[in-house]
Structure 1
Amino acid sequence: MENAVELDRWDKQPSQVEVHDEQALGRVGKKQVLKRRFGFLSIVGFSCTILATWEGMLSTFIIPFENGGPAGTVYSFLVVWIGTFSSFLTLSELVSMAPTSGGQYHWVSILSPKWCHKYISFLTGWLIVIGWIGAFSSTSYLSASQIQGLVVLNRDSYDATAWQTVLLYWAVVGFAVFFNTVVSTFLPKFEGFVLILHVIGFFAIMIPLLYLGDKNSASDVFTVFINDGGFQTQGLSFLVGLTGSMFAFTGVDAAVHMSEEIHDAEKVVPVSILTSVVINGMLGFAMVLSTLFTMTDPDAALESATGYPFMQVFLTATGSKAGSTVMAAIVPVLVLATAVGCLASASRMMWSFARDRGLPGWRVLSRVNSEAVPHWAIIVVTVAAVLLALIILGSAAVLNDVISLAVSALYSSYLISAALLLWRRCVGSIRLASEVSATTILNTTGTPLAWGPFRVPGVLGIAVNIFTVAYLAIGVFFSFWPMLLHPDASTMNWAVVGTVGTSLICTIYYMVWGRAEYTGPVVETVYN
């Protein structure tokens, strides 16, 4: 079987790994409920297709280009790539310590001071939930609107309407629900197949693009900056444009929320996360350069009736509607696959938070069906995404808003986790696993902290954590900025409403009801 083949890479027999997985999960106070269907290769595929960096850069290309220009797009990508790798080195240390589906809110609970750990963990959990609903909604919207863009590319007379986008959006959501429920057992194989498409699709676009298209000079790509947002300085414009590149790297924690369905998670998840960041970074950077070098008419690309500059770039390069349509169609197909993974990750996060009594209706949301799939959590995430479509599609600036919401909420959860790990590391309160009895419960509420199999040791680890906190703080701050210095209601970045509003609602809910129910990660079993 696929998983058996993958597990051989880790020199363990499946039965031994299953016992080890239950013991590792039990040691952080959790019972094995979900089925472990993912091995190393399938979870790498899952992580790579959730990131979908080269697809994401094409989809959000207009954001870094208008506030940064060609050079800004190149350098912002490199900054975000380095920052993302550092961030997930830090989160990989944490998932190796506590490989649970809860991820950030679990880690925040065990790392925070005792007097405030419940509230900070509760807030983090809500941020992750809203962030993943935003990620699922934004990928569904991207796929739907790109399908409409393909129609516009081929029929100049076509008038794309909001209600048509809504129907396409719902169709994408329905496809994601189908794969997460009806054929959920095939999800690992589906993700492995999509990984192949992810790589093949990259070359299917890049080769004809570079071969057929006219080329800009290197100075046009690496030295030309643009400040279409009208900000006071080019540096400020560059920082505002970071959001587009950040979105293309958002979601690596998807593998974290699938931890309880991955064999040998405390080792496999960190390696799969970092592998996916490296692979996607290389593919994404190559696609950015390919697009910029062949974008010989920036004005035509940015003003494309399709809404997506990359479609006009493909058309200009190939001179063929049929050829450019085939190339461009690869992107919404792969973004559609990303929506499948986003729903899986979002539902596991919601299920885990409900299991720990962090959400209303937690008794229902924490249930799983006969296939060990959190079906109620899938339903709630789906309903939220369907209803969100009715709101977000009313604004021409919807893409920026939803992207900023996903970035700000998820990056906030990364920032809180990384800052607390840095503090605990500096005060020396995390022990080596060898210093703790093998039968001691670890890394959950009220228990000792110990490193997992993966960590960055010594001063280097502290340096990585410091850089991570600085990068994430900048990312969260600028995710709330509009793309224009003087925005109106349609161009304003409303992500602050979603993120801060969620924080206020969750705080009120916690004070009125939540603090009586939520005590942090629930210890479900006594490890021995």
Structure 2
Amino acid sequence: MATESKAEPSKLDSLNDDAYLQRLGKRPVLNRSFGFMSMLGFSCSALLSWEGVLVTSVPGLLNGGPAGVIYGFLISWIGTISVYAVLAELASMAPTTGGQYHWVGMLAPKSCRNFLVYLTAWLTTTAWQAIAVSTGYITATLLQGIVVLAQPSYVPEPWHTVLILWAAMLFAVIMNSTTSQALARFEGLILVLHLAGFFGVLVPLVYFAPHNDAQTVFTSFINAGGWSPQALSFLIGFPTVATSLVGADCAVHMSEEIQSAALVVPRALMFTIFLNGLFAFGMIIGLMFCLTDLESALGAATTMFYPFLQIFYSAVGSTTGACLMAGVILVLAVASSVSVYASASRMLWSFSRDKGLPFHRQLVKLSRNSLPVVAIVTTLVITMLLSLIALGSAVALSALLSLIISALYSSYLLVCCLLLWCRITGKIQSHISGSDVTELGFLTWGVWRIPEPLGTMNNIFAILYTVFLLFWSFWPQTNPTTPETANWSILVFGSVVIFSIFWYIVRARHHFKGPIKEA
């Protein structure tokens, strides 16, 4: 179990976050409007775990079957908890918007610090931009799938998808451009809807649908991807289920807008992954018991995009009821875009603050309400441009979006390895309250950490799990593989890494010294 400092919560609430941030080398320019509950709502909204497993678990049946999906999710849940526990320790040491790349700047040796910081910043920034596009695409295609369910004569066109995506993302931009107080209240409301929606979908699904027996659910494995033996098929299908738990680190990138961030951010990370994992597991169990016709569900993917829409219809036997259940998920997907845009734009703004991006002088500009509006609008423009890929090929867009796991978990792997190195070499001092905080070259634990030796053991396990997930995330789902079924993530990920290295050598190494210490 994680431990916190002996300071009372009231004393921690009175902690001067701005002074803490200044000692980390950053000027406080954003409003701190988020507390624990609003940030928990923010993180749950961005993660969308139980909603996400409806999208990923049925395709995941091809390599693994019902038992493979269940056990694969449990493994991914345990591994993700371990990884986020390490991130929580780092967030308590240095709660800054830069997140992973700022931590790399603290932990990495001077000889390679600038390069590793730059590479990590590029990976994290690119991943969050890809998440923004992915959220918009899922929202648009989900709406089209609901329309097909209600009106089978409707034929979804790619340009319909793009226009709906633009409209949904415009809503996210408007919400992010109001005030930070309004955004915090909105996220608190979404937390209630996220929890209530879970029961609103699961209860009718389980109550009305015919059920499989327990033996089928917990012992039935399927190998429809052409990989042999069954164990290999299970491992290849594992990353598909694991994607439902990606993105909880959004709280990290909002750190400079959170009160008592050194404590609230770690708590939000851990509560988010525990609660969302619990709800997602419950939804997977319910879905596997109610999935009695896998063939028709998978067939619906070609007409309604998402098999769970057919499962809903088969369960309740009513088009209206199925559309209402799917409508709950649609509303939450739109709300998720608000949180995703907030995190993506803050990451873009933070990297620009450290002069790591072209046009960084414009990207760091704030509105009257101390919001990074230019970065928010730039994220919208990037989303709109990348979404045009769907007009030519949905496969090409999927290849781009496959970057999410590889880029994010690569940044996690780097900071986990560096923290372990600092742990075992004794470079991190005990937490000292008040005036001494973590800076570049001077490391102290924050108010939230895992006691030793559990901390080191968890750190090692997080590294092993991340390597495991990254390795299997690059495998194609079917064998033999065609251009349409290939896993292009290694190509996209490699392109981003090669470009960032090339740009660093040619230009960035001459001026990028981040994370810089602001006056």
Deviation at 1:395?
3.2
For 2:249, which of 249, 253, 257 is the aligned residue?
Answer: 253
Q: Is the contact made by 1:64 and 1:76 (CA closer than 8 Å) also made in structure 2?
A: no
CA distance in 2, matches of 1:55, 1:244: 14
For 2:480, which of 486, 489, 509 is the aligned residue?
Answer: 486
- Identify the residue that residue 4 of structure 1 maps to in structure 2: none
- Identify the residue that residue 168 of structure 2 maps to in structure 1: 172
2:284 is the counterpart of 1:285: no
1:403/1:388 CA distance change after superposition, 3 Å = closer
- Identify the residue that residue 455 of structure 2 maps to in structure 1: 461
Deviation at 1:194?
0.7
- Identify the residue that residue 10 of structure 1 maps to in structure 2: 9
- Identify the residue that residue 439 of structure 2 maps to in structure 1: 444
Size of the alignment, in residue pairs?
510
2:209 is the counterpart of 1:210: no
Deviation at 1:509?
1.0
SS in structure 2 at match of 1:236: helix
CA distance in 1, matches of 2:74, 2:52: 15
Q: Is the contact made by 2:389 and 2:397 (CA closer than 8 Å) also made in structure 1?
A: no
Letter of the 2:166 counterpart: W
CA distance in 2, matches of 1:84, 1:355: 30
Q: Is the contact made by 2:82 and 2:458 (CA closer than 8 Å) also made in structure 1?
A: yes
Q: Is the contact made by 1:44 and 1:276 (CA closer than 8 Å) also made in structure 2?
A: yes
- Identify the residue that residue 514 of structure 1 maps to in structure 2: 508
- Identify the residue that residue 225 of structure 2 maps to in structure 1: 229
1:44/1:393 CA distance change after superposition, 3 Å = farther
- Identify the residue that residue 150 of structure 2 maps to in structure 1: 154
1:105-184 paired onto structure 2 within 5 Å: 105-182=101-178, 184=180
- Identify the residue that residue 423 of structure 2 maps to in structure 1: 425
2:409 is the counterpart of 1:411: yes
1:438/1:488 CA distance change after superposition, 3 Å = same
- Identify the residue that residue 377 of structure 1 maps to in structure 2: 375
Deviation at 1:491?
1.6
TM-score under structure 2 length normalisation: 0.95
1:22-421 paired onto structure 2 within 5 Å: 22-182=18-178, 184-304=180-300, 305-392=303-390, 394-397=392-395, 400-421=398-419
Deviation at 1:484?
1.3
Deviation at 1:433?
2.4
CA distance in 2, matches of 1:345, 1:395: 28
CA distance in 1, matches of 2:62, 2:396: 17
CA distance in 2, matches of 1:69, 1:395: 29
Moved more, 20-29 or 478-487: 478-487
1:320/1:348 CA distance change after superposition, 3 Å = same
Deviation per residue, 1:310-336 (Å, 9 max, x gap):
111111111111111101111121111
1:398/1:59 CA distance change after superposition, 3 Å = farther
CA distance in 1, matches of 2:298, 2:391: 21
Q: Is the contact made by 2:33 and 2:180 (CA closer than 8 Å) also made in structure 1?
A: no
SS in structure 2 at match of 1:325: helix
CA distance in 2, matches of 1:197, 1:239: 34
Q: Is the contact made by 2:474 and 2:487 (CA closer than 8 Å) also made in structure 1?
A: yes
Letter of the 2:439 counterpart: T
Q: Is the contact made by 2:474 and 2:489 (CA closer than 8 Å) also made in structure 1?
A: yes
1:370/1:191 CA distance change after superposition, 3 Å = same
CA distance in 1, matches of 2:229, 2:416: 30
CA distance in 2, matches of 1:487, 1:190: 44
- Identify the residue that residue 3 of structure 2 maps to in structure 1: none
Q: Where do 5+ consecutive residues of structure 1 fail to align?
A: 1-8
Letter of the 2:104 counterpart: V
Deviation at 1:365?
1.2
For 2:499, which of 480, 505, 514 is the aligned residue?
Answer: 505
Deviation at 1:375?
1.3
CA distance in 1, matches of 2:231, 2:512: 43
Moved more, 282-291 or 491-500: 491-500
Q: Is the contact made by 2:45 and 2:194 (CA closer than 8 Å) also made in structure 1?
A: yes
CA distance in 2, matches of 1:13, 1:260: 16
What is the aligned-residue RMSD (CA, Å)? 1.6
Deviation per residue, 1:239-293 (Å, 9 max, x gap):
2222222221111110000000000000010011100111101110000111110
Deviation at 1:202?
0.5
Moved more, 507-516 or 474-483: 474-483
Q: Is the contact made by 2:413 and 2:463 (CA closer than 8 Å) also made in structure 1?
A: yes
SS in structure 1 at match of 2:382: helix
- Identify the residue that residue 3 of structure 1 maps to in structure 2: none
Q: Is the contact made by 2:100 and 2:121 (CA closer than 8 Å) also made in structure 1?
A: yes
Moved more, 400-409 or 83-92: 400-409
Deviation per residue, 1:216-248 (Å, 9 max, x gap):
001111111112221122222222222222221
Q: Where do 5+ consecutive residues of structure 2 fail to align?
A: 1-7
Letter of the 2:54 counterpart: L
Deviation per residue, 1:21-63 (Å, 9 max, x gap):
0121122111111110100110011111111100111122233
Deviation per residue, 1:366-400 (Å, 9 max, x gap):
22111111111112211111111111453344675
Identity of aligned residues (%): 44
CA distance in 2, matches of 1:293, 1:411: 32
Deviation at 1:498?
2.3
Letter of the 2:10 counterpart: D
Letter of the 2:23 counterpart: R
1:392/1:496 CA distance change after superposition, 3 Å = farther
Q: Is the contact made by 1:301 and 1:310 (CA closer than 8 Å) also made in structure 2?
A: yes
Moved more, 288-297 or 469-478: 469-478
CA distance in 1, matches of 2:180, 2:20: 25
Moved more, 487-496 or 418-427: 487-496
Q: Is the contact made by 2:12 and 2:260 (CA closer than 8 Å) also made in structure 1?
A: no
Letter of the 1:341 counterpart: S
TM-score under structure 1 length normalisation: 0.94
SS in structure 2 at match of 1:258: helix
Deviation at 1:156?
1.7
